[in-house]
Amino acid sequence: MLKLKFDQEGLIPVIVQDYRTGEIRMFAWANEEAIERTLKTGYAHYFSRSRKTLWKKGETSGELQRVVEVRIDCDEDALLYVVEQEKNRACHTGERNCFFRDIEGEKSKRVLPFEALQRLQEVIQSRLREMPEGSYTVRLYREGEDRVLQKFGEEAIETLIALKRGIKEEIKAETSDMLYHLLLMLTIRGVGIEEVLWELAGRIR
């Protein structure tokens, strides 16, 4: 392990990023023991400055953070935990991450581009789990897999036509429709979009 630069209290800041969506889940502090336990157990440990004690994220709430990778910044004075948030709620308030408000204190509802596919699949999973009336996702799912595949094929063709026409707004709209139907079919097949992206990432050289 590189020689980390701890502050005068023996602590180093830790930024926590979700490996699926890319969103920043939280910020915390760690001492050397917390880092060692994180690396040994594979689950995020931190140091509480207020309680002066080591703590494992989710030990009481069940909101465990499985650590996929630990990275260090260029100055060696900050860490990045790339994690899988097991129950999808990192903040003690019940929010999915601690950065859910804008600078004016209002709750932000904006989904950023880099998390859009994963967040959309979460919505699809929720629809198929709860089966709310009036949901297009539920209606299409009830029509059967062949119908979902047909819709995906139709949207793929419409995307191809839009690309041929070269009109940017059409391309964005048709591609979005195609991706939605692809995500629905992936969900039916039990394939997470992050699995596809991991496969793609492994091909980048």
For the chain, the domains span 1-110, 113-201
Q: Do domains 1-110 and 113-201 have the same CATH topology?
A: no
- Residue 73, pLDDT > 80, answer yes
**Cα-Cα-Cα-Cα dihedral sign, residues 42, 47, 48, 52:** positive
Query: What is the residue type of 48?
Result: S
Please say if the pLDDT value at position 2 is more than 90.
no
29-47 mean pLDDT: 98
Q: Do residues 56 and 45 lie in contact, with contact meaning Cβ atoms separated by under 8 Å?
A: yes
The helix/strand/coil state of 165 is helix
| Averaged pLDDT for residues 168-174 | 98
pLDDT at 1 over 70: no
Return the CATH superfamily for domain 1-110.
Phosphoribosyl-AMP cyclohydrolase (3.10.20.810)
User: What tens digit of pLDDT does each residue of 116-153 get?
Assistant: 999 999 999 999 999 999 999 999 999 999 999 999 99
- Dump the DSSP string for 46-112: EEETTTTEEEETTTTTS--EEEEEEEE-TTSS-EEEEEEETTS--STTSSSSS--B-TTSPBP-PPP
3-state percent helix, strand, coil for the chain, nearest multiple of 5: 40, 20, 40
Q: How much is the pLDDT for 205?
A: 87
* Mean pLDDT computed over 44-53: 97
Confirm or reject CATH 1.10.287.1080 for domain 113-201, answering yes or no. Answer: yes
Phi, psi of 18 (to 5 degrees): -75, 130
Residue 36: the pLDDT is: 97
Whether 57 and 46 have beta carbons less than 8 Å apart is answered as yes
Cα distance between residue 158 and residue 116, in whole Å: 21
